[in-house]
Structure 1
Amino acid sequence: MNNNNKPYSNIPGTTVFDGDMARMGFHLNQFCMSLMQASNRTAFKHDERAYLDQWPLTEEQKNAVLARDFTTLISLGGNIYYLVKISSTDGLSVAAAVSSMTNLSLEDYLEMMRNGGRSPEGNRYVEHAPSEEKT
């Protein structure tokens, strides 16, 4: 689900975390929250697949966790505030997790953010974009 047929469905590259996405990702996000306990982090790192199999996640969600594919996890109902528990379990910063969703290295991502973030060009509602951006 990618929020099709909703007034905010045409923002390029954006998945809005709404009620439908929350329902889709409920168990995924609960799994992520379980990683707040040290014993659960240890169990997860010991055998990630076995730990994931304890949760009623879809195979696609499990595979995305194993691949640390945060972009796919968001499209499957993951909320970034919960998903960073996975990267924290791996000893990575939030910036490292978020930079993995861009085409930038961590260093380039941090530099972009220090310089004010991404340009809004190409990242607005399709109907609000200048005509040359509409495709």
Structure 2
Amino acid sequence: MRSLIVLTGLVGASISLAAPAAAQTNLSGEELRGQTVDVLFSDGTRNAVFFGGDGNAVIAAPSGLRSNGTWSASGGKICLNASGASECWGYVRRFTAGQAVTLNSSCNETSQWTARSVNAPVQQVAPAITRGERG
């Protein structure tokens, strides 16, 4: 049970990423929709967080215990709400599959988040320029 409490029991705790030189803006968590992130805490506790495409989340411990909740990403934060608790982390760049990101909480809890897989960035394609009959 402790492994679920570690992730969902810190009501109002804030964890921030070490800001990279060039932070990205307007992140929506799109790379995480339908994907799972493994979380390893400094005390060795592990959880897996599934980020559903509909905003639902499932936090699972290796023992099989699960906690259903919701997630959102906006305003430079990614937040999880489960079991009556809410927790947000600074979200300044996209997650990359297989690359651990260290998150430090305001209560000095350190955890590593590793996305198993991510969705490709949505490509913004500029509309084709059409010339009028005079151009």
TM-score after normalising by structure 1 = 0.24
The structure with the largest strand share of the pair is 2
The structure with the largest helix share of the pair is 1
TM-score after normalising by structure 2 = 0.24
RCO higher in 1 or 2 (8 Å CA, sep ≥ 6)?
2
